[in-house]
Amino acid sequence: MSGKSPIKIAPSILASDFAKLGAEVRAISDAGADYIHVDVMDGHFVPNITIGPDVVKALRPHSEKTFDVHLMISPVDLYIEAFAKAGADIISFHPEAGPHPHRTIQAIRAAGAKPGLALNPGTPVEMLWPLLGDIDLVLVMSVNPGFGGQSFIESQLKKIEIIRKRIDQENPGIDLEVDGGINFETAPRAIAAGANVLVAGTATFKGGEAAYARNIATLRGAA
The active-site residue, picked from 34, 39, 68, 175, is 39
Measured between alpha carbons, how far is 47 from 164 in angstroms, rounded to an integer?
A: 30
Number of structural domains found in the chain: 1
What is the per-residue DSSP string for 66-89?
Answer: EEEEEEE-SS-GGGHHHHHHHT-S
Does residue 214 belong to any structural domain of this protein? yes
- Does some domain include residue 158? yes
168 is known as an active-site residue: no
pLDDT(3) > 60 = no
Q: Which member of 34, 42, 68, 179 is catalytic?
A: 179
Three-class SS of residue 19? helix
Whether residue 100 lies inside any domain: the answer is yes
pLDDT class of 223 with cuts at 50, 70, 90: low
In a domain, 48, yes or no: yes
In this structure, is residue 3 part of a structural domain?
A: no
In this predicted model, what pLDDT tens digit does every residue of 128-156 receive, in sequence order? 999 999 999 999 999 998 877 789 999 99
**Model confidence pTM above 0.85:** yes
The question of whether 136 is a catalytic residue gets the answer no
Domain CATH number, residue 204: 3.20.20.70
The 10s digit of each residue's pLDDT in 110-131 is 999 999 999 999 999 999 999 9
Examine residue 97 and state whether it is found in any structural domain, yes or no: yes
Residues making up the binding site for a divalent metal cation: 37, 39, 70, 179
CA distance 121 to 177: 13
Give the structural domain span for 118. Answer: 8-220
In this structure, is residue 164 part of a structural domain? yes
Does 2 map to a domain?
Answer: no
